[in-house]
């Protein structure tokens, strides 16, 4: 017996080895008591630093720092809003992590959505860090690593939901939760000085498609053990009640597919594997073949199928090039474009640009998603275009074809009540959501002084006795990606782009010799006025430029910088007086 206990303890104490929770309930209590015994208080301090995800929905990244060790939780991107002209994506600020690269021991990922994994390759371009994630999440991450040729240089560790592992002084457990993508987990992070639960994105679903229910029992036992700080998802905090189960959407698909003799096109989030499974199940039930279109949808189906997260009957998938072999009544097309993106497959169909699909009056199009905040106009425009083409378009206002993956108020209250944290930090939400979540925490008995609504870059410090926000913040400015440029676009460039989009460009070309104009001025207008219809204004503008040049010559101003400024100022006043618009004026001086 002593020998057996010795072997068990040796196995338990091996560093960095994932361990499965015991299935036998009697053993489980005993293991948890030993395994998760609260460590003795340390003189160290735990810093919790949200670098992204606060005051916004996207680019989630949180730093946990204990002494000289750092773990990162999630590393996501954010898609640009309308004010970020020409920007492709927005990244978190990696400055603090780069400056402390020697301390960074692990990147731990809660689930596979882009706002949690989309910036990983950009981080790995700057520092090398091992990644810990569940199987599907890691499959999606590896796809990104392969595309950037980072697979060989990056260590990856697949951790099962319900297992735990150790990184330095951090003990991390993956607690299963429900979300709109499989294999989502909350994190129970233990250090010698404090215990933290990070919920990731979650909901409470008692009828999930894959049968994996959120582990409320483990969350409750963690609360009994003692949780110093809770970080909880705030996305749906404004919604009352409980979020409906994903399984309710499946019944809607069966009802919509029943009796239809036309082609059915369905769009949803590519990452929602359970939604894709339900669409396929409904198609199979009504003897329809399934066509997948859109790069992200094709990638997700391939990965989920290879890893066993999608169940596909033999020969149900049909290549888009072969769908002409089938009648419209025999086809269901699953596509990207649920957010109205013009370049996604559904957007190209709406604008008549898709190579293989032409929408007609014979089509039924189902949009099984809600617009992400900021995308409402694009989604509405795509719906309008599809209706103009004669298609029947079904979206959330007319049918129960979408449920959220985020917890509503009653689920958020349940999380707070189960975990019983000493301190609370609402995350993953815009400012109003964070404040609303803070108020919700007060309504279940938390003290206002124990709740922290902070901004990106704030540093929370826990020492085992208290939690406080330090005066010093870390860099957390959004990093803009434009084409191949990362972080090289600033406010000045964005302001210029905004002016160009609003009032256009007015170019004046002057040929110069020895400080005097001997050719021109020639005028080019883009986005301001159409020159053929505004000849009088253009001629008056040229006369105004000549006046400015005469002023320079009279005052013996010959340096090009001063001449440019005089021409720009004079022309700006003239054009505003004539048009009440302020185009960007660009004087170009050329030596002849």
Catalytic residue annotation? 233, 406
- Can you give the C-alpha Rg of the chain in angstroms? 29
Q: Are strands 104-108 and 131-133 parallel, antiparallel or unpaired?
A: parallel
Closest to 199 measured CA to CA, from 225, 179, 213, 180: 179
In the sheet where 263-267 sits, what is the strand order?
Answer: 317-318, 289-293, 331-335, 263-267, 363-367, 392-394
Q: Which phi and psi angles does 536 have, rounded to 5°?
A: -65, -45
DSSP 38: P
Asked whether the beta carbons of 96 and 63 are under 8 A apart, the reply is: yes
Intra-chain end-to-end CA distance of the chain, in Å: 98
CA angle (336 as vertex; 333, 339 as ends), nearest 5: 130
Rounded Cα gap, residues 363 and 379, in angstroms: 18
Burial string for 452-472 (b: 16+ CB within 10 Å, else e) reads bbbebbbbbbbbbeebeeeee
Q: List residues bridging with 363 in a β-sheet.
A: 263
Rounded Cα gap, residues 159 and 122, in angstroms: 23
What's the distance, CA 528 to chain centroid?
Answer: 36
Rounded Cα gap, residues 489 and 133, in angstroms: 32
CA distances for 550 relative to 304, 565, 576, angstroms? 72, 14, 21
């Amino acid at each position: 017996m002593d020998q057996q206990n010795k072997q068990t303890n040796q196995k338990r104490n091996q560093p960095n080895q994932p361990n499965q929770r015991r299935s036998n309930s009697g053993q489980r209590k005993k293991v948890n008591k030993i395994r998760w015994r609260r460590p003795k208080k340390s003189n160290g301090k735990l810093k919790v630093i949200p670098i992204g995800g606060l005051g916004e929905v996207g680019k989630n990244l949180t730093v946990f720092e204990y002494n000289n060790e750092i773990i990162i939780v999630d590393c996501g991107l954010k898609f640009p809003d309308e004010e970020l002209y020409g920007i492709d994506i927005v990244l978190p600020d990696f400055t603090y992590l780069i400056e402390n690269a020697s301390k960074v021991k692990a990147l731990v990922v809660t689930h596979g959505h882009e706002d949690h994994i989309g910036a990983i390759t950009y981080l790995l371009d700057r520092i090398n860090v091992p990644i810990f994630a569940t199987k599907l999440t890691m499959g999606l991450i590896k796809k990104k690593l392969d595309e950037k040729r980072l697979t060989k240089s990056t260590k990856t560790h697949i951790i099962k939901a319900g297992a735990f592992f150790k990184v330095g002084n951090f003990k991390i457990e993956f607690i299963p939760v429900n979300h709109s993508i499989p294999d989502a987990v909350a994190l129970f992070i233990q250090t010698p000085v404090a215990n933290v639960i990070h919920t990731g994105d979650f909901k409470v679903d008692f009828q999930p498609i894959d049968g994996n229910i959120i582990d409320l029992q483990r969350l409750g036992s963690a609360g009994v053990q003692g949780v110093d700080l809770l970080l909880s998802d705030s996305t749906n905090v404004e919604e009352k009640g409980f979020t409906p189960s994903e399984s309710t959407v499946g019944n809607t698909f069966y009802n919509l597919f029943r009796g239809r003799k036309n082609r059915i096109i369905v769009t949803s989030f590519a990452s929602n594997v359970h939604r894709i499974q339900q669409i396929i199940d409904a198609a199979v039930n009504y003897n329809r073949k399934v066509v997948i279109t859109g790069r992200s949808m094709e990638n997700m189906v391939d990965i989920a199928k290879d890893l066993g997260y999608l169940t596909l009957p033999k020969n149900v998938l049909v290549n888009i090039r072969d769908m002409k072999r089938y009648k419209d009544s025999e086809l269901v097309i699953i596509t990207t474009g649920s957010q109205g993106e013009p370049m996604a497959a559904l957007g190209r169909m709406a604008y008549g640009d898709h190579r293989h699909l032409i929408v007609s009056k014979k089509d039924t199009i189902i949009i099984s998603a809600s617009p992400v905040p900021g995308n409402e106009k694009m989604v509405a425009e795509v719906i309008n275009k599809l209706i103009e083409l004669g298609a029947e378009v079904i979206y959330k206002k007319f049918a129960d074809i979408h449920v959220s993956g985020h917890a509503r108020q009653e689920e958020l209250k349940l999380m707070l009540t189960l975990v019983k944290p000493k301190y609370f930090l609402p995350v993953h939400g815009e400012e109003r959501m964070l404040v609303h979540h803070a108020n919700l925490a007060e309504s279940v008995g938390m003290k206002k002084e124990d709740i922290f609504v902070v901004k990106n870059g704030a540093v929370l410090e826990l020492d085992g006795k208290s939690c406080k926000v330090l005066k010093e913040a870390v860099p957390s400015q959004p990093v803009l990606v434009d084409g191949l440029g990362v972080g090289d676009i600033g406010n000045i460039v964005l302001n210029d782009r905004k002016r160009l989009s609003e009032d256009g460009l007015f170019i004046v070309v002057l040929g110069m010799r020895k400080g005097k104009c001997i050719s021109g001025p020639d005028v080019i207008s883009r986005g301001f006025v159409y020159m053929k219809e505004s000849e009088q204004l253009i001629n008056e503008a040229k006369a105004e430029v000549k006046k400015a040049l005469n002023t320079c010559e009279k005052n013996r101003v010959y340096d090009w910088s001063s001449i440019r400024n005089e021409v720009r100022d004079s022309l700006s006043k003239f054009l505003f007086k004539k048009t009440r618009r302020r185009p960007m004026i660009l004087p170009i001086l050329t030596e002849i």
